[in-house]
A and B are shown apart, each in its own frame.
Chain A
Amino acid sequence: MPSLSHSRRSMPSSLLSLTYPNKELFHRQYALLRGAVPAGFPSPADDYIEGRLSLDDHLVQHKESTFFMRVAGDSMRGLGIFDGDLLVVDRAMPATHGSVVIAVVDGEFTVKQLIDTARGQLLRAAHPDYPDVHIRPEQDLSIWGVVQWNVHKV
């Protein structure tokens, strides 16, 4: 492309359209020219060019239902989730026994582990100082999403 754009620049545009009245032909010649430019030995890696790895591909399974949240507090450190960490939360995943979830308790988000018991579900912290949050039968436990990954700055 460089050689052509140079010649094009030095030519008034009106002249350009006179010289190449056929647009298609112009583009074909253009393409030929372009292919001819890189002289020298072809890179042996050409056939192996692949997209570079993307963390998004790795961490985000469903792009429409994945949200990020910030952690405040240390009640989940037993599961490696620390204050200030970044959570990757997927609303599409089912919350089952043992899932780390974002739950809504009294209108606020909390991150805890969901535990099934014989008497219903409860939210468990991963820290000895924090008691289980029992969900009373009349209380509505709302699971906002399921934590898929925790991004922790080392």
Chain B
Amino acid sequence: MPRAIALVDCNNFYVSCERLFQPKLEGKPVVVLSNNDGCVVSRSQEVKDLGIKMAVPWYQLKDIAKRHGIIPRSSNYSLYADLSNRVMSLLSGYAPQQEVYSIDECFLELTGIHTVHAELAQTMRQQIKRHVGIPVCVGIGATKTLAKLANHVAKKDPRRDGVCDLNTYNPSELDALLAYFPVGEVWGVGRRSTARLQALGIDTVLDLKRASPKRIRDEFSVVLERTIAELNGIACLELDELMPAKQQIICSRSFGNLVGNLPDLEQAVIAYTTRAAEKLRNQHSIAGGIQVYIRTNPHKERDPQHQEAMLLPLHEATDDTRLLCHAALQGLRRIYRSGYAYQKAGVILTAITPRATRPRTLFDDVESQQRSHALMTTMDAINRRMGSGSLKLLGEGTQKSWAMRRENVSPRYTTEWQELAVATA
């Protein structure tokens, strides 16, 4: 029986989330901006039609935005995450296996489901649109790489009604389609590889499919060799059902305003470490080291520049916010220099291992470990129940002069009682 893998991808996901609760944005050009209203991270079709690319800094778009009435929205991740969970939960009912690949896309294993897959895909689209209000497209192929490509076809070609099943193509039809797409559209082929492949005369997806695996392996990587196999219908990438526990946890953000003094930086580092430690506990892991870094704004070329990072190994791996903050602050104080306007700070947790396999040492203070665990569990429970950030270290501060700029953020319609949508009666 042929393998059938579907990739379901939400269309313009963040913009679609904003539109669900603000129907007046329907049909208007809308962009969602990254943290600090920096760059474009999601565009409505109207904005794409204006030729505006992803990741463009918003300040470069002010003129064109004014001319075309483009409506900016700050990222509202609380809303996006909740709607994503709803979409993924509904989709999980369609297949025995699901891999949630990102906030707006997932793979589904359709192999062995005896129904016309394109029809099943239409049912998914209609259900997600009606029940959650988010438009999605579905691509189906014999491998994850082909499913990804099929999804691209489904999105680009309006005649397909949001679904493309490459398994229904005969070999010559499929090759004709693959010849139509540039090689850069293939999953995992980045801009640099694209240029190098083109230099070898590999311009289209079909060229890559027919390329010599050995040559590609020698000149590029075993990863790209696998991509060739996948384009030929040989599945090399399986569905990972569980998100693997992260080996590294990063929490970093640009500041709303430049920060020059140490106390403000300390607050920011404590806030980021707190967030990172929460993620760490969420995946039941402990970290053996923490890296802290700060940098000035590299685009302000006339300002004095400084950037530095420091990795601090912990003598005992931990998930305790207090110990991690203590280490991070030590590092920060070592790398901080006065007289610079810092734009960004961050922390990275490294040497992450499952909590359950923590090695015991002769000098383990079991009692304090248990107390630490009890305290952190309680803190997490309170923050889950009363809202994130209800209980925190005082060092994080209460007035955040460095906090993110989010000037056009919409209400958290689905996660805060105070911010529900209003229906006029």
Residues of A that sit less than 8 Å from B by CB: 5, 8-9, 12-14, 17, 62-65, 67-77, 81, 83, 86-87, 91-92, 102, 104, 106-112, 125, 142, 144
Contacts and interface: CB of A to CB of B under 8 A. Distances in A.
A65 B425 CA distance: 22
A110 B90 CA distance: 27
Contacts of A62: 131
B425 A76 contact: yes
Contacts of B131: 62, 64-65, 91-92
Q: Helix, strand, loop or mixed for chain A's interface?
A: mixed
A8 B366 contact: yes
Contacts of A91: 130-133
Contacts of B48: none
Interface in B371-425: 413-414, 417, 420-425
Residue in A13, A72, A104 with the greatest tally of chain B CB atoms within 10 Å: A13
Contact of A109 (B89, B367, B423): B423
A107 B420 contact: no
Contacts of A111: 423-425
A111 B424 CA distance: 6
Contacts of B360: 13-14, 17
A64 B86 CA distance: 5
Residue in B22, B23, B414 with the greatest tally of chain A CB atoms within 10 Å: B23
A64 B89 contact: yes
A13 B132 contact: no
Interface string B335-376: 000000000000000000000000011101011001000000
Interface residues of B, number: 28
B124 to A, nearest CB: 13
A3 B136 CA distance: 55
Contact of B423 (A8, A63, A87, A142): A87
Contact of B425 (A64, A67, A68, A110): A110
Contacts of B414: 67-68
A138 B422 CA distance: 26
B412 to A, nearest CB: 12
B24 interface: yes
B219 interface: no
25 contacts: A13-B360, A13-B366, A14-B362, A64-B132, A65-B130, A67-B421, A68-B414, A70-B420, A70-B422, A73-B425, A74-B425, A75-B424, A75-B425, A83-B425, A91-B130, A91-B131, A106-B24, A107-B23, A108-B23, A108-B424, A109-B422, A109-B423, A110-B424, A111-B425, A142-B23
Nearest to B367: A9
Residue in A5, A67, A125, A144 with the greatest tally of chain B CB atoms within 10 Å: A67
B26 interface: yes
A131 to B, nearest CB: 14
A71 B421 CA distance: 9
A146 B109 CA distance: 33
A127 B334 CA distance: 69
B194 to A, nearest CB: 39
Given A64-B90, A104-B23, A72 B366 contact: no
